[in-house]
A and B are shown apart, each in its own frame.
Chain A
Amino acid sequence: MTPLTVIGGFLGAGKTTLLNNLLRARTGVRLAVLVNDFGDLAIDGDLIAAHDGDTITLANGCVCCSMGDDLLRGLMTVMARPEPPEQILIEASGVADPKPISDVGELHPKLTRDLVIVLADAETLAERHADRRLNDTVERQLRAADLVLLNKCDVASDAAKDAARALIARLAPAAKLVETSQAALDPAVLTLPALPHQPAPPHHHDQQFSTVTLRRDAPYARADLEAKLADLPDAVLRAKGPVRLDDGRTWLAQRAGRRLDLSAWPGAPSRTRLVIIGTADMPDVNWFARTFDAEVD
């Protein structure tokens, strides 16, 4: 199952910057990034292995596709590649509702719905929302978000930021809100490496995010683990990694937003090694150690 992540938000909110940051981060995950226009993507020349019309192939196996407005057709093309991507990120157009795009992740047998991340420009969000022609579009986007990135916080006035925060709290109470500048987001929020060939993400605990890794040799009862994962607090954005279950097998557990998925682990049998990333208000490591009866770092 390939996670389908949707990046929404108005023109100028920082979607391209976010994707540029991600492509530069070299996460080790083979990504397919579908954009409306890769004119704005600033991919370092030495990363590019091939540029063929609508597709740029990077040396690390990632691809970027410019899909015009035929987004789903572009998605199918990417899925049919000889080396299919391990995760797909779709940049929604500025006025698009990201929800229907994300729905494809739920419907397609080879895809799973991943996070909907909506960028909001801290300088202009409230202004856009006051524009009667755009007001409902702003609301639809925010309501569709699992994670709202309030971007450009370095340049926005305090008044604009306050207005934007209030708006997001009112319109998208269920979404996590993270404040950024230059769309600087921990790449692990967008894509969490966990497969055997992928390097573990560096751990850090900054003001916005924290990461914990659970390790355990003893298998979990399936129902027990599913319940624990389902009950993770809202502050958790992602959990991913191999888990050992009482059927003697290793599974790949993936939780994105509130959605949980267990699928076949593609590597050699492994102990449980579950990486969890969430916002700063996520419980501390001791809570995870207790709840999952595991070693934690």
Chain B
Amino acid sequence: MSATTILSARKIITMNPNRPEVSHVAIRDGRILGAGSLAELEGWGDYAIDDRFADKVLMPGFVEGHSHLMEGSIWKYAYCGYMPRIGPDGTRYDGLENIEAVVDWLQRCEARLTDPDEPLVGWGFDPIYFAGRRMVKADLDRVSTTRPIVIIHSNFHLVSVNSLLLERSNITAATNVDGVAKDADGEPNGELQEMAAKFMALDTIGLNYAAETAQAQGLRNFANIAVRTGTTTATDLVNTLTDDILAALLAVTGADDYPVRLVPAFHGDSLPPAEGAARAVALKRKTTDKLKLGIVKLVTDGSIQGFTGRLRWPGYYNGAANGVWNVGPDRLEAVVAAYHDAGCQVFIHTNGDEAIEVAIDAVEAVTRRNPWGDHRHTLQHCQMADAAQFRRMASLGMCANLFANHLYYWGDQHYGVTMGPERADRMDGCATAMASGVPFAIHSDAPVTPLGPLFTAWCAVNRTTVSGRVLGEAERIPVADALRAITLGAAYTLRLDHEIGSIEVGKQADFAVLDDDPLGVAPEVLKDVPVWGTIVGGHAFQA
């Protein structure tokens, strides 16, 4: 018989309503043999006691339902964000609170490069906090005029470049294309806002950061961040999952010391729907203990703060034109149908309430033709859903994964610029989701905001913006519900609630190991509960 280990802890929060808090958990073969008192667990026979966590609080390993592996790979470039952030090796990067600070940091990064031709690449930059001041080429020319520089904005849609890269990309005053920002003299100022110009600049230096996510170092970085935040299962939304990428993911996650279960979603619009459905079905059969395959992701609209989200009347608060469709109302139903009919669960990216409406309509249509009681098709982000939309989602068996981190990071912009006060109050409405009976998770969309489920839970509990404003007090949820959303709630949206998400007999021995009790601290400091590390399949990983 396999060995049994019994962990003792100061407290174990189980998410099992029959025994919500226990003192011991028994592990055998990487799975939970039981959770209860020592006396109860002793009935399973011989065991070894492990007291290393006797002063810790254990929770089910956190589940990040919407992140990207780029959260690991992007760290090979210089972090240039306004918010402080902790790198994969634990290094704390201070927030850069003005352009001068960004330039100063880039100068230091530049000085460390040894190859004089190597491009300098930064990421995470967000001028939305700089009261109208943008990053222009003159700023970056102070860093270097002899090596190309590109700074990727936090939304990954815009870039700022130096004069040399403009010149090498053939972008001049005469360039007449959308998205090349010009200064008062009609010269390109270095900010490239649309696909074509941005793509050309990146192509000039051979940069394709989106293709680097499955590289070993990036996956290792991702794992380090996961361990540090108590995360034991995380998604990669979205991935083309070609044979090469699949092989790389299988190899890395196959190692016993890889501490995360990865759930990549297949990019459902990367192949024609019929081929895509066949691919998704084939991928599902390759699922392993640590690599969960079969989910499909589709993208309808863009982002709210980028004004590319699709809104119903009356549109953007500042009068900006409505956003853009990727898979739009002309095609969404047919694409969803192809996957639904093949038995594949579909994640649909929706931000604006018009995109949400179109996605709900599509799910309604496909389920009317081909009922599937447990499809769990999930709206990802689902930020602007109103109460009526949540009610429809509940009726249709849909789930929501709400972008709680947005409330903090861009809540002030939503209140003042994009949505206006009333609609900003309802954004990412966890309380309405709960009241409507929509199963829900909450997420970071890392690297758009940092991976950190406790922080995400804090956002859903407090709904506080950077400036301290509370958006929609009635949408605040209790800590216990937020903790459920980052464990069992997220697991449900991933169709993994039978394996992970709670500490119960039969489930994987995946735990977040905390130095304090998230149910015992004030809700305002939930995000500050220290994380010791994780346990995955019974193996402990210290941050």
Is A97 on the interface with B (CB-CB < 8 A)?
yes
Q: Are A72 and B177 interface neighbours, CB within 8 A?
A: no
Quick one: given A95-B325, A134-B329, are A107 and B175 in contact (CB under 8 Å)? yes
Minimum Cβ distance to chain A for residue B451 (Å)? 25
Q: Are B330 and A95 within 8 A (Cβ)?
A: yes
Residue of B nearest to A128 (CB): B330
B517 in the interface, Cβ–Cβ < 8 Å? no
Q: Chain B contacts of A107 at CB under 8 A? A: 169-171, 175, 177, 196-197, 200
A45 in contact (CB, < 8 A): no
Question: Given the complex, which residues of B lie within 8 Å of A69, measured CB to CB?
Answer: 267, 269-270, 326
Shortest beta-carbon distance from A16 to chain B in Å:
12
Contact A94 to B330, CB < 8 A, known contacts A100-B196, A101-B196? yes
A137 interface residue per 8 A CB criterion = yes
In the complex, how many angstroms separate the beta carbon of B135 from the nearest chain A beta carbon?
A: 21
Interface string of A41-82 (1 = CB under 8 A from B): 000000000000000000000000010111011001000000
Query: At the interface, is chain A mostly helix, strand, loop or mixed?
Result: loop
Which A residues touch B171, using CB under 8 A? 107
Which residues of chain A come closer than 8 Å to B178, judged between CB atoms?
A: 99-100, 103
Q: Chain A contacts of B275 at CB under 8 A? A: 39
A72 CB → nearest B CB, Å: 5
Q: Does B520 contact A (CB under 8 A)?
A: no
Instruction: Report if A103-B197 is in contact (Cβ < 8 Å); known contacts: A39-B274, A95-B328.
Output: yes
Q: Of all chain B residues, which has the CB nearest A137?
A: B325
Q: Report the bound CA distance from A151 to B64 in whole Å.
A: 48
Residues of B215-240 contacting chain A, CB below 8 A: 240
Decide if A11 touches B330 in the complex (CB within 8 Å). Answer: yes
Closest approach, in angstroms, between the C-beta of A12 and any C-beta of chain B? 8
Interface presence of A37 (CB below 8 A): yes
Chain A 98-115 residues near chain B, CB threshold 8 A = 99-101, 103-104, 106-109
B256 CB to nearest chain A CB (Å): 35
Annotate A125-137 by CB proximity to B: 1 below 8 A, 0 otherwise. 0001001111011
B91 touches A (CB below 8 Å): no
A100 to B180, CA, bound (A): 11
- Selected from A70, A95, A97, A132, the residue in CB contact (under 8 A) with B313 is A132
Question: Is A209 at the interface (CB under 8 A from chain B)?
Answer: no
Q: Does A288 reach chain B (CB closer than 8 Å)?
A: no
The 0/1 profile, CB within 8 Å of A marked 1, for residues 166-209 of chain B is: 00011100011111000000000000001111011001000010
Nearest Cβ in chain A — how far from B94, in angstroms? 35
* Shortest CB distance A101–B (Å): 7
Which single residue of chain A is at the shortest CB-CB distance from B332? A95
Assess A134 versus B197: contact at CB under 8 Å? Given A37-B272, A106-B176.
Answer: no
Contacts of B267 in A (CB 8 A): 68-69
Asked whether any CB of chain B lies closer than 8 Å to the CB of A10, the reply is: yes
Q: Closest CB of chain B to A215's CB: distance in Å? A: 33
Q: How far is the CA of A131 from the CA of B358 in the complex (A)?
A: 12
List residues of chain B with CB within 8 A of the CB of A103. 177-179, 194, 196-197
With the chains together, A4 CA to B267 CA distance in Å?
Answer: 27
Contact A136 B169 (CB under 8 A): no
Residue in B closest to A12 when the chains form the complex, CB atoms: B330
A39-B200 CB under 8 A given contacts A133-B354, A136-B321: no
A68 to B268 alpha-carbon distance, docked (Å): 10
Cβ–Cβ < 8 Å partners of A95 in chain B: 324-328, 330-331
- Shortest A209–chain B CB gap in Å is 28
Tell me whether A133 and B358 are in contact in the complex, defined as CB-CB below 8 angstroms, given that A103-B178, A103-B194 are known contacts: yes
Complex CA–CA separation, A128 to B331 (angstroms) = 13
B271 touches A (CB below 8 Å):
yes
CB proximity of A54 to chain B, nearest CB, Å: 10
Q: How far is the CB of A143 from chain B (nearest CB, A)?
A: 12
Residues 1-56 (chain A) with a chain B CB within 8 angstroms: 10-11, 36-37, 39
In the assembled complex, B375 has its CB within 8 A of some CB on chain A: no
Question: Least Cβ distance of B362 to chain A in Å?
Answer: 12
Please, how many angstroms separate the alpha-carbon atoms of A189 and B358 in the complex? 37
Asked whether, in the complex, the Cβ of A94 is within 8 Å of the Cβ of B326, the reply is: no
Give every chain A residue within 8 A of B290 (Cβ-Cβ): none
Seed contacts A94-B328, A128-B330; 17 additional CB < 8 Å A-B pairs: A10-B330, A39-B272, A68-B269, A68-B270, A69-B326, A76-B203, A94-B330, A95-B324, A95-B325, A95-B330, A100-B195, A101-B195, A101-B196, A103-B178, A107-B196, A108-B170, A132-B313
Q: List 7 A-B contacts (CB under 8 A).
A: A95-B326, A100-B177, A101-B195, A103-B194, A106-B175, A132-B312, A133-B354
Chain B interfacial positions (CB closer than 8 Å to A): 169-171, 175-179, 194-197, 199-200, 203, 208, 240, 267, 269-272, 274-275, 310, 312-313, 321-322, 324-331, 354, 357-358
